[in-house]
Amino acid sequence: MTTRREFIQQVGLLGAGLAFQPFRVKAGGLHSVGANDKIRVGLIGCNGMGYDDLKAFLKNPEVECVALADIDQSVLDRRAADAEKKGGKKVTHLYKDWRRLIDHKDIDVVIVGTPDHWHCLQTVAACQSGKDVYCEKPLGNSIEECNIMVRAAQKYNRVVQVGQWQRSDPHWQDAVAFIRSGKLGKIRTVRVFSYQGWCPSIPVKPDEPVPEGVDYDMWLGPAPKRPFNRNRFHFTFRWFWDYAGGLMTDWGVHLLDYALYGMDVTAPKSIMAAGGKFGYPDDACETPDLLQTIYTFDGFTVLWDHAIGIDDGAYGRTHGLGFVGENGTLVVDRGGWEVIPEKVNKKERMEAVPLNKSYGEGGLNLHVKNHLECIKSRNRNCNASIEIGAHIAKFSQLGNIAYRTGKKLTWDGKSFHDKEADKYLTKVYRSPWALPKI
């Protein structure tokens, strides 16, 4: 992740897009996209959150889905039928190779819903082709990928929203306002936790032939060549280092983002982590089923704590954050926020704040609306801009790198100055794929 000064400088660049008008490429040349024009989207990766994102886009009358791409023909066919029902219009362009969707000249926005290891190549290609992007979180699968993606969006002046939809959910914003009011007193630590009982262990399974209709070599893409195994395919890819970073990068980018946002900080002084495969030592997962990471800042810490297969998180919740102050603790999760007073000698230091429940039409729907508004105005400062998404994706990567090295690490924004840790900064791509040069 960047230093605080670098992060502020990057975010300051977002205003550069305000003077530009959006353009759509047609056979006859360029023409502007007006406020009432259709915004045509194409989705790459249709099986999970990618399709949820598309549904949120299609709730807006100005949006039309014109293309889908997926390496699994059965998924592609099913989602084409689903999208027609949602959007009221047949999707006429279906691709097994995502590059053909990028080349489609009538697409304004590309939704990247693929596994993490594909995000960099597809987002950069979309930016280079003059398309705006909605990219699922985490933004990248390595620190260097995130840096490259930010440079691409800035160079090509693209409006990129990262799928950290809690940035658009109003009760989270309300919680941050209370945190910054000072009523909690000095905050000593922020407890960030994700206990996911619905994510069970995956048993070891043998390799098998590639299912019919699946372009498995394209699914692997820049990742190492391996035999097909269902554990590494579709949803459970996130438990393997080749493609993702486990629960730390899956839920961490949502929750740790608000720890930094609430405390108005960026780079930690040091990072250390401990955990392992304690609940399911013999299952197929590579990433830890339990992990604690401590990020140290000036005057306070941020503690990340996760587990799969159990729901016993802090404050009687499965996920959330606890901003622990001298006067009380603010606890926030997707259901709402409240303040628990600190009691000393049976005397409360502040009044309790009862649960303020979540409200509105839902974070994802609001997040997509924010993206569409920014596309129309050419304001790159989305609620979860690519600069914000890159910053927290890198922050989560720091925790994983500390776990994988077993070391207490320091970070200057570019290097750990530790050979073992620095080798994790960049992914080695499998030929013929190559890390983009921006």
Q: 119 and 153, same structural domain?
A: yes
In a domain, 341, yes or no: yes
Which residue positions in the chain have pLDDT lower than 50? Answer: 7-8, 11-32
CB 94 within 8 A of CB 76: yes
Q: 374 and 402, same structural domain?
A: no
Residues contacting residue 230 through CB under 8 Å, at least 6 positions apart: 205, 208, 236
Q: 208 and 130, same structural domain?
A: no
In a domain, 422, yes or no: no
CATH number at residue 183: 3.30.360.10
Residues contacting residue 398 through CB under 8 Å, at least 6 positions apart: 1, 268, 271, 295, 409, 411
In a domain, 53, yes or no: yes
> Cα–Cα distance between 134 and 121 in angstroms, integer?
14
Q: What is the pLDDT of residue 200?
A: 81
In a domain, 88, yes or no: yes
Q: What is the pLDDT of residue 14?
A: 42
Q: What is the pLDDT of residue 28?
A: 29
In a domain, 425, yes or no: no
In a domain, 433, yes or no: no
Q: 324 and 211, same structural domain?
A: yes
Q: What is the pLDDT of residue 93?
A: 96
Global pTM reads 0.91
Which tokens in the block code for residue 189?
């630590």
Q: 285 and 209, same structural domain?
A: yes
Q: Render 381-407 in DSSP notation, one character per residue.
A: --TTBHHHHHHHHHHHHHHHHHHHHTS
Q: What is the pLDDT of residue 26?
A: 35
Q: 322 and 176, same structural domain?
A: yes
Q: 261 and 211, same structural domain?
A: yes
In a domain, 438, yes or no: no
Q: How many domains does the structure of the chain reveal? A: 2
Q: 374 and 225, same structural domain?
A: no
In a domain, 416, yes or no: no
- The H-assigned helical ranges of 264-406 are 363-377, 386-405
Q: 186 and 279, same structural domain?
A: yes
Closest residue by Cα to residue 228 from 251, 247, 205 = 205
Q: 100 and 29, same structural domain?
A: yes
CATH number at residue 143: 3.40.50.720
Query: Please, what's the b/e burial string for 24-44 (b: 16 or more CB within 10 A of its CB; e: otherwise)?
Result: bbeeeeeeebeeeeebbbbbb
Q: 161 and 148, same structural domain?
A: yes
Strand partners, 192: 304, 321
Q: 253 and 123, same structural domain?
A: no
> Cα–Cα distance between 211 and 220 in angstroms, integer?
14
Task: Determine the residue type at 176.
Answer: V
Parent domain of 207: 169-362+397-411
